[in-house]
Chain A
Amino acid sequence: MSTLAAAVEVRGASKWYGAHKVLDDVDLTVCPGHVTVIIGPSGAGKSTLLRAINHLEKLDAGRVTVNGVLIGVREHGTRLKELSERAILAQRAEIGFVFQDFNLFPHLTVLENVTAAPVATGRATKAEARERAVELLAQVGLAEKAEAYPGQLSGGQQQRVAIARALALRPGVVLFDEPTSALDPELVGEVLAAIRALAGGGTTLIVVTHEIGFAREAADRVVFMDAGRIVEEGPPGEVLDRPRHPRTREFLSKVL
């Protein structure tokens, strides 16, 4: 696959927490419109990699490009220089992010949560943002909850609002950081369904999850990470059913 066509490209990403190397020279290429699912044991660096893509986590070495644009840094001769906070904030409009703990704004209504970003960044008028928000809330099945506060919703509903909020800026790439890990088991399905509904719609999705079933059904590619490295990647049929690496086999034998 050609480098230029990649929606997300990570090259040589490395990061240390003190003496511990959480990301160890990671390379990842994600095609536009594809669904990539990252699996692996806790502490493998999955979330750190995901957070590095929208620069919530700064890399010590390596680079990330989204739709060909360097994220968080610019080239300065042979070195990389960190961008200003304002420039980084502007870049994030292209990258939606859904958190494990939803992180909705509890003092704002559902509708205000979804319209905040387009209005605050000046990308839409209030009326336009509202129209788009109503559309998005209908898409995730929460049209009637627009005036509710997050505290009045179930975990699954809150996470679906968070998905609508992440889509409000029409990002080309949406990142999901364990979107169902904080949910009661019976609420997992509705959130996974909302994510699956986005697949194939042209938006590039990267999902860190422990839901192997979701990976099998919805992923175009599955990436298995362990100890800060990508151990193995490929179509779900290969990685999940015929893993080549013993570490992948060991992990899958425990979670399946």
Chain B
Amino acid sequence: MSTSAEPAEAIGISESPHRDLATQRVIPLRHPGRWIATAVVVVLAAQFVHGLATNPFYQWGRFGYWFARPVILRGLWVTLEVTALSAVLGLVGGVVLALARLSHNPVLRTVSWVYIWLFRSVPLIVVLLILFNFSALYRTLSLGVPFGPSFFRFDENKLATELVVATIGLSLNEAAYAAEVVRGGILSVGRGQREASAALGLPRWYQFRRIVLPQALRAIVPAYVNQLIGLIKGTSLVFYVSLLDLFGQVQTMSSTYPGDVVPLLLVATAWYVILTSLVSLAQYWIERRLRAGERR
């Protein structure tokens, strides 16, 4: 580039032997290490797949036999039921807890904080077992004024089927984690968004529902899906409160058919992988829909 007023030829630009520099290609650096690493991994993976296919230990025939047995599908249905109920109840509880923790009311803030602290501290299996033994602790459950008259009474033994106990336990636990996910999402929405909503006089509910929540969801969805996948797998604990979910059925069948332990565990593995894959797929679609406004 010439900064002088001389003609270009005078300083040799147009007659330069390097005039075709612009067409010279840059050869990228070679990475032979990557090829070696790839080869090693491919060989190991091939060995693993070969082992899976040919090792009689896996008994793929028995896997096929068990995969869609009615007893396994019944367990799968229970897993789906408990997961769906707990996911919805946990999320609703989580939103309420998150709003309480973000409120200006110190009592609500403290109660929410204590709840989250408590349920994040106690292992899920302990919560489930305590609930399972609840009927021994509380004979009846009544709704009314403390120390005053009660309006409704439930006989705990009739009320608490295994499904109810499992759902309550998982929901209580899930709500504590969901609360933090939701709170994090709401806090990720800038202060300016709230100020702009307030300055426009948007009603409070509208501010939350149309301005804050849609933006918060973009932070909430990935974190909550993570939570949901943990929940799907966490449901395998309900076996310990006598609920025969997917894992429970596999355990029961294993004690009846001890020779089929490995194929039965593989059946459970396959179904859990399928369920979490479906959830991940749903996450992908939801995130795509929430990306409005990011397109440029």
Contacts and interface: CB of A to CB of B under 8 A. Distances in A.
Interface string B167-207: 00000000000000000000000101101101111111010
B145 interface: no
Contacts of A127: none
A121 B202 contact: yes
Interface stretch (A36-44, A145-153, A187-195, A231-239): A145-153
B215 interface: yes
A89 B195 CA distance: 11
Contact of A99 (B192, B204, B211, B290): B192
A90 interface: yes
A152 B295 CA distance: 7
B33 interface: no
B243 to A, nearest CB: 41
A113 to B, nearest CB: 9
Interface stretch (A27-35, A104-112, A196-204): A104-112
A108 B201 contact: no
Interface in A72-103: 85-86, 89-93, 95-97, 99, 101, 103
The number of chain A residues touching the other chain, given as a range, is 20 to 34
A116 interface: yes
Contact of A150 (B192, B198, B215, B293): B293
Interface in B191-241: 192-193, 195-196, 198-204, 206, 210-211, 214-215
B293 A107 contact: yes
A5 interface: no
B122 interface: no
B215 A107 contact: yes
A5 B142 CA distance: 64
16 contacts: A54-B199, A56-B199, A86-B203, A86-B204, A90-B201, A99-B192, A99-B199, A103-B196, A116-B202, A120-B202, A121-B203, A149-B294, A151-B294, A166-B199, A166-B200, A169-B201
Interface of B: 190, 192-193, 195-196, 198-204, 206, 210-211, 214-215, 290, 292-296
Interface of A: 54, 56, 85-86, 89-93, 95-97, 99, 101, 103-108, 116-117, 120-121, 149-152, 165-166, 169
User: Shortest 6 CB-CB distances between A and B: which pairs?
Assistant: A103-B196, A92-B201, A97-B199, A103-B192, A149-B293, A117-B200
